[in-house]
Chain A
Amino acid sequence: MTEPRNPGMSSVPQTAPVHTDSSSAAVEMDPVEYTLRKRLPRKLPKRRNDVYVNMKTDFRAQLARCQKLLEGGGHREICVHGLGLAINRAINIALQLQASSQGVLQLAANTSTVELVDDLEPEDPDEAGEPMTRTRNNSAIHIKVFYPDPQ
């Protein structure tokens, strides 16, 4: 949260989805033989005023953190990000912030698609079946919560 901005590090993908073997789409796969392991979403750039909403932390804590950034932190705008199930929570936080500001704060929402990678690890390593990865897409929302410039 308070660490300095480090764009060099954050733009490098942490893990490597290696083979872009498009012909492997037809590969037969027995789901019983594999364990599904979800990788973390690709590391996203994070400024001081970026808030990534998750479903683990208490809702009030995440709301309070945003409030602190806007009121105590002196930020004119913050960006609330939510992925998948957390989209709802991100919207909720943004709307709560707006409501508690008596309508001073404004919201600007953008949507995007995030590619996620799952690892498929064979249950029995001796058995034929190499580790595979599978990509899927999930929706994300990015809400800018800001004080509009006085004009």
Chain B
Amino acid sequence: MTEPRGQMKSSNGTSSTVMDLQSASINPDVSSSSSSPKFGGSNFKRVSRTEDSSPCPIPGLAADILHMRVKEGSKIRNLLRFATARMQGEGKDGNGTSLRQVVFTGSGRGVTKTITCVEILKRKVGGLHQVSKLHYRTVNEVWESPQQGSPDITMQRTVPAICILLSKDPLDPQEPGYQPPQTPTEDAERRRALLRPAQSPSSQHTAKRVCPDDWTVCSTQTPKV
């Protein structure tokens, strides 16, 4: 998993050495490969990391839409404080109306966080229509050689990415990846079904629930104990 995958080429001007480490046709588990790779045992240092600005693959988006870019280290509460304020109309935009649509994007290790943000926002702001799209994103990484004078290495890597549109206005239900708004009754029923005790409650699990059903308190992170 620590093997670098994808194509490497010298970034020093003339890019003469092009190495194919592995055929790009199959690219197993690209996401987990972002730990620092080793080239022949020597430690390279990552100098820069740039992502291509691939457009969101959702059709018919307004140009001035609120775009939340979720990164690996982004704090969920920061992202959500901003997004909920805009969606709930506290922070009115120029026209004096609250936002109708928001897009969340994330790639690599930020994908899970992106989905978590969307799931929380859907609960805070009810009646949102959703369309999710998956795609690969190309990331260019420049690695600095530990030896002085040797050329830097540019590595191209593809990471899975997600793009989720949340909209107060109805969206095309035929669009692949569409999800209708979750009605409160449905949600409550699902919850009740989850909490219904089984027919034979084992004595071992007669236990108290510590955490309330509040997203803001129970983050999806595994609690440290």
Contacts and interface: CB of A to CB of B under 8 A. Distances in A.
Chain B CB within 10 A, most for which of A31, A112, A130: A112
Given A88-B109, A136-B220, A19 B206 contact: yes
A17 B160 CA distance: 35
B12 interface: no
Given A13-B198, A108-B177, A110-B177, A59 B111 contact: no
Interface size bucket, A side?
Answer: 35 or more
A136 B162 CA distance: 23
Interface string A1-23: 00000000000111111111110
A120 interface: yes
Contacts of A94: 134
Interface string A111-148: 11101001110000000001111111111110110000
Contacts, number: 165
A135 B194 CA distance: 11
B205 A15 contact: yes
B38 interface: no
Query: Across chains A and B, which 4 residue pairs bring their CB atoms closest together, nearest first?
Result: A108-B176, A88-B31, A139-B115, A91-B160
Interface of B: 25-32, 108-109, 111-112, 115-116, 118-119, 130, 132-136, 160, 162, 164, 176-179, 191, 193-199, 201-202, 204-213, 215, 218-220, 222-225
Interface of A: 12-22, 24-25, 27, 29, 31, 34-36, 42, 59-60, 63, 84-85, 87-89, 91-92, 94-96, 99-100, 106-113, 115, 118-120, 130-141, 143-144
